[in-house]
């Protein structure tokens, strides 16, 4: 991290610890670099125990339970957590105090700009894409670092990562909208003086986070910033059905590779599915990489993640002949249509990553009938018409939270009879008790978790633990240890 040697002795304020360890990890990395670190968060210490434990023994000062202007007046550099909105009055205070504003991502790029990177954004499918890309690249013998929106600090993750390594990043719109590429020093390597990232990919794009960005256009523009710093030798990997794909293609500074669940149109290069095979078309040449049946998932709505991961791994040097063999051992990520152990005749499905209606619509279309749906949370004020229509195929609906209330109103207009509960735990318990042989209990919240929980993972754990207890009760009541994992 020689590029960050200038941080030694500088007064750095970390603004917000976040919900996934990014703030604490960044503070840890900064302290190890010799910065004089102060952490401030609006939450009191008792709500931050886990994050604070990660900083035990490090020379870090704390100002918890609120911010103060004195903190900013004393700071030279402020590291802004992605969750801090652009209209936060504290950012105005920081600017008024003459502080330089930066982010964990931008600091990480200053340290690891010359590391070949595959960076992924999108509304859905990002985590699966980067996890699969990391897996595909992992057999090369090089160090492959996976970081970003999955959790933790990117700056902390890239410590010691050199040009022989590979960096795979999942980036949210909160991260890409503040992306700034550091100007390379005169002594930089040729790679560092080019563009970044070497491969940028978008998995999907629809409306989300409108409470933060204000409009769909602003949200898409924040995502599109990922392409702003690429060079002519870099790759932009884009779905063929991307909304306003012309503006994306025009924003790309390097070669555009398209992703398609069907054959690619003539003259376009990229990755597609044709006749049940995943096909690569580059430089006018086509080759079959593997049969779709050999992929770890084949659902149509997940194909962009599969194809983008393959494109990213190939773009970072994975030989084509090694793709198929490495696919076979990929295990997938939790909370993404994950089949949990269930009593015989039932299916328990954890799709807790769904904080938006679209993944739930896709899941319902995939599962068909006999679904008991658990959905709800904090309303993000996104369109719900498609989710209400898709819910007509469910046998029962158990809803909660402000989002569940709005969805319930729409469902009743369609003649459905959803049950509204006081909270997530009550909805889960009722759904599991309601399940009959042949049912699939689908936990796919479709709304934000921040009304009751720190993050979507904590909310999904409520479902998982309830399923575990229900299975144990079923086994003890009949003396049968048989289970089904669908």
CA atoms lying within 13 Å on the CB side of residue 75: 31
Which tens digit of pLDDT belongs to each residue from 207-260? 899 889 999 999 999 999 999 999 999 999 999 999 989 999 999 999 999 999
Tokens representing 181?
């590429």
In this structure, CATH architecture of domain 10-102? 3-Layer(aba) Sandwich (3.40)
In angstroms, the CA 426 to CA 19 distance is 24
Angle between helices 303-315 and 126-137 (to 10 degrees): 40
275: burial class by Cβ within 10 Å (0-12, 13-18, 19+)? Answer: exposed
All structural domains of the chain with their residue ranges: 10-102, 105-327, 338-473
Give residue 18's pLDDT band: very low, low, confident or very high (50, 70, 90).
confident
What pLDDT score does 475 carry? 85
For the chain, how are helix, strand and coil distributed in percent, rounded to 5? 40, 20, 40
Instruction: Kindly tell me the number of DSSP H helices and DSSP E strands found in the chain.
Output: 18, 22
What pLDDT score does 189 carry? 47
Which tens digit of pLDDT belongs to each residue from 284-341? 999 999 999 999 999 998 999 999 999 999 999 999 999 999 998 998 899 999 999 9
Give every CB contact of residue 309 below 8 A, 6+ residues apart in sequence.
128, 129, 130, 132, 133, 136
- The more confidently predicted of residues 197 and 1 is 197
Residue 183 preceded by cis peptide, ω within 30? no
In angstroms, the CA 455 to CA 18 distance is 10
Tokens representing 263?
């054959």
CATH superfamily of 105-327: Mur-like, catalytic domain (3.40.1190.10)
Nearest to 303 by CA among 145, 179, 132: 132
Q: Domain 338-473, what fold?
A: 3.90.190
Task: Tell me the Ramachandran region of residue 446: left when phi exceeds 0, alpha when psi lies from -120 to 50, beta otherwise.
Answer: left
């Amino acid at each position: 991290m020689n590029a960050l040697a200038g941080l030694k002795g500088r007064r750095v304020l970390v603004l917000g610890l976040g919900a996934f360890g990014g703030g604490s990890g960044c503070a840890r990395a900064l302290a190890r670099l010799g910065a004089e670190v102060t952490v401030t968060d609006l939450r009191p210490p008792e709500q931050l125990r886990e994050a604070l434990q990660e900083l035990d023994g490090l020379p870090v000062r704390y100002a918890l339970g609120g911010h103060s202007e004195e903190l900013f007046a004393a700071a030279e550099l402020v590291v802004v957590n992605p969750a801090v909105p652009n209209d936060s009055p504290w950012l105005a205070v920081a600017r008024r105090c003459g502080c330089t504003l930066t982010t964990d991502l931008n600091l990480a790029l200053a340290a690891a700009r010359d590391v070949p990177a595959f960076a992924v954004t999108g509304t859905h499918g990002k985590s699966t894409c980067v996890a699969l890309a990391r897996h595909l690249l992992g057999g090369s013998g090089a160090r492959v670092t996976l970081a970003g929106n999955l959790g933790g600090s990117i700056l902390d993750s890239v410590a010691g990562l050199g040009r022989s390594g590979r960096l795979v990043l999942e980036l949210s719109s909160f991260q890409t909208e503040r992306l700034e590429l550091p100007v390379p020093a005169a002594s930089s390597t040729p790679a560092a003086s080019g563009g970044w990232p070497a491969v940028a990919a978008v998995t999907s794009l629809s409306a989300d986070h409108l409470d933060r960005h204000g409009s769909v256009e602003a949200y898409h523009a924040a995502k599109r910033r990922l392409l702003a710093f690429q060079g002519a030798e870099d790759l932009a990997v884009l779905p063929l059905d991307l909304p306003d794909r012309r503006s994306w293609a025009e924003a790309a500074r390097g070669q555009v590779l398209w992703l398609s669940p069907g054959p690619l149109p003539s003259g376009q290069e990229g990755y597609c599915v044709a006749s049940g095979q995943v096909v690569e078309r580059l430089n006018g040449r086509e080759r079959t990489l593997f049969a779709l049946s050999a992929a770890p998932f084949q659902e149509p709505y997940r194909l962009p993640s599969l194809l983008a991961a393959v494109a990213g791994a190939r773009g970072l040097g994975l030989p084509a002949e090694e793709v198929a063999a490495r696919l076979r051992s990929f295990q997938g990520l939790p909370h993404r249509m994950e089949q949990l152990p269930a009593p015989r005749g039932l299916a328990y499905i954890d799709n807790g990553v769904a904080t938006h209606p679209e993944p739930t619509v896709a899941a319902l279309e995939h599962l068909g009938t006999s679904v008991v749906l658990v959905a709800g949370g904090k309303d993000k004020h996104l369109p719900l018409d498609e989710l209400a229509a898709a819910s007509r195929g469910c046998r029962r609906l158990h809803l909660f939270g402000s989002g569940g209330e709005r969805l319930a109103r729409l469902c009743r207009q369609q003649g459905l009879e959803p049950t509204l509960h006081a909270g997530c735990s009550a909805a889960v318990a009722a759904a599991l008790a309601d399940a009959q042989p042949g049912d699939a209990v689908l936990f796919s919240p479709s709304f934000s978790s921040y009304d009751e929980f720190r993050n979507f993972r904590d909310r999904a754990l409520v479902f998982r633990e309830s399923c575990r207890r229900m299975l144990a009760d079923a086994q003890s009541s009949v003396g049968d240890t048989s289970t089904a994992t669908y």
